[in-house]
Structure 1
């Protein structure tokens, strides 16, 4: 039988992507994560969960994380957490922040985020617990004071609630708008309700469990938000000459801002184009995101997770075991060594 032309083209592209993912992401950020076993282990959610369905679309998962990071950055405390405790912000020769973005630092943060939200979604139970312990350990070290004198603490329950809401909103919104067969209504709320396990594992309390509750939680944080210099410098017209990749550049910046709730869009002076152009832009992005997914297929880790439970699970998913306040004290160096 003569192979179909699209198969002869798609398979090499998928293999090239897997090789690239292996060298740039998997080998750096997936070390020690288990997806192939133990046999029958459902992890935190299981194969019939809304979380497995949503997180199996890797391009949309990546886009959703970018949307969440943008909204999250409207909190000045989070911006200064990044300045003081991460490599996200570029620095001059004297170590002072310039306000620009450190591209390598941003890539490292994205790689860790991707491995976390893949590993907690359909990794083994032990993998999910390990990832959550690592992130909690990092959060415990993020404490300081903004230049305006306001203290910040990544363990603050109010911050944890806001941070959680931005993440679940970003992932669910990207899925709802651009997935070829999106969950809607009660099915989408099932995703919100399931995903709260991740927030609890990171120490969050009183977390929203539906789309409506999440949108209400986000808007309620508005008095704490502001457009920082760093956020303004990396969006809108300021990106006119920026390099363009799948998740950067002026078009993707527009696409991310296009997902924002109306009140958040007004903070960055985002205005939608006319309805015809808006539909054309969203259609173009839909084709790109789903074209990439159709080409590469589910990543290796998801296929391994499916093979782990081919005949169903041997038990029901187990909720995260974390009890707030029980983590041992660790230094920044010790926390980073856990990653």
Structure 2
């Protein structure tokens, strides 16, 4: 006889399978080759952090929110992304397109699960596909400032927001979080992903990541999209998530968006409520099958050496946007 949490788990897993896994995990290998640790392997901090799927997804939301404080990233999205709606002339409107948001989420989750638990070959192909997409994102903001997704400064900011978002969500909402030197292990391991995407001079500890993010403050601003996506007048469920996302931001980020922390009692209660939702979903759905397959792949030991990303800007073949999008369907 099924218990209520088992029924919820079935629903959550079926929804994830139909909306995300079926479309965005195709061609990714987790069960083979036997003995291949992938980029990280058993015992790594990355395997521990990314094993909590719902905390990972929340962390990616936190990273996306912070990213938009960079006007160049905001305009990259407006000009190149399907994340926002467009009018009959194809002009972007600063309103999230639900279908586009699902595609963005699907690609993001697939990438960070695939690079964590996939075979070495799977991780390398995913990184190459994301790099290829970055190569196509170049343009000019309305104020005349040029942007380029291959720019090392942009890559450093983008990497730091993702590392901070995932790690902070983990520290707040994982039932067995890494802290202190242990969470620094995560930052030190995760930098492999940033290097594979072309990043240079990347932070490798929590303190370095926080300092890196703060060094960008003079370049940041509350963009139109950020202003529209936050605030007390949002619907209640969205407002609760919005508060939890803003709660993960560094002090300067909260000041920039005029977010004020409530008193310690209220803040603790709010975090406890969010913790209950995130961990309730995780408990109901159970460990991700990709994580279980990776564990089985190396249960008899690791027989393949780790490889370090060797990508350098300019190494990739030039591909059109349509060719790149086709590659995403096959990885």
TM-score range, shorter chain: over 0.9
Match of 1:229 in 2: 224
Structure 1: tracts of 5 or more residues without a match: none
Q: Name the CA distance, whole Å, in 2 between partners of 1:19 and 1:177.
A: 27
Match of 1:165 in 2: 160
Match of 2:274 in 1: 285
Does the alignment pair 1:154 with 2:149?
yes
CA contact (8 A) 2:49 2:170 kept: yes
Q: Name the CA distance, whole Å, in 2 between partners of 1:163 and 1:276.
A: 33
CA contact (8 A) 2:36 2:302 kept: yes
Q: Name the CA distance, whole Å, in 1 between partners of 2:56 and 2:18.
A: 20
CA contact (8 A) 1:196 1:208 kept: yes
CA contact (8 A) 1:40 1:309 kept: yes
Residues 188-207 of structure 1 correspond to what in structure 2 (within 5 A)?
188-207=183-202
Among 264, 268, 293, the alignment partner of 1:304 is 293
Match of 1:136 in 2: 131
Match of 1:180 in 2: 175
Match of 2:302 in 1: 313
Does the alignment pair 1:50 with 2:40?
no
Q: Name the CA distance, whole Å, in 1 between partners of 2:302 and 2:46.
A: 16
Q: Name the CA distance, whole Å, in 1 between partners of 2:85 and 2:232.
A: 20
Q: Could you say what secondary structure the match of 2:232 adopts?
A: helix
Match of 1:38 in 2: 33
Among 317, 326, 332, the alignment partner of 2:315 is 326
Match of 2:244 in 1: 255
Q: CA RMSD in A?
A: 1.3
Q: Name the CA distance, whole Å, in 1 between partners of 2:130 and 2:177.
A: 29
CA contact (8 A) 1:13 1:295 kept: yes
Q: Name the CA distance, whole Å, in 1 between partners of 2:32 and 2:175.
A: 30
Match of 1:270 in 2: 259
Match of 1:15 in 2: 10
Superposed displacement of residue 238, structure 1: 4.5
Match of 1:125 in 2: 120
CA contact (8 A) 1:129 1:321 kept: no
Q: Name the CA distance, whole Å, in 2 between partners of 1:8 and 1:104.
A: 32
Count of residue pairs the alignment pairs up: 328
Superposed displacement of residue 295, structure 1: 1.3
Q: Name the CA distance, whole Å, in 1 between partners of 2:11 and 2:229.
A: 31
CA contact (8 A) 2:9 2:281 kept: no
Q: Name the CA distance, whole Å, in 2 between partners of 1:24 and 1:237.
A: 30
Q: Name the CA distance, whole Å, in 1 between partners of 2:19 and 2:142.
A: 36
Among 52, 61, 70, the alignment partner of 2:56 is 61
- Comparing 96-105 with 149-158, greater Cα deviation is found at 96-105
Under a length normalisation based on structure 1, what TM-score does the superposition of the two structures give?
0.94
Does the alignment pair 1:70 with 2:59?
no
Q: Name the CA distance, whole Å, in 1 between partners of 2:86 and 2:313.
A: 35
Does the alignment pair 1:108 with 2:103?
yes
Match of 2:83 in 1: 88
Q: Name the CA distance, whole Å, in 1 between partners of 2:226 and 2:5.
A: 38
Superposed displacement of residue 284, structure 1: 0.6
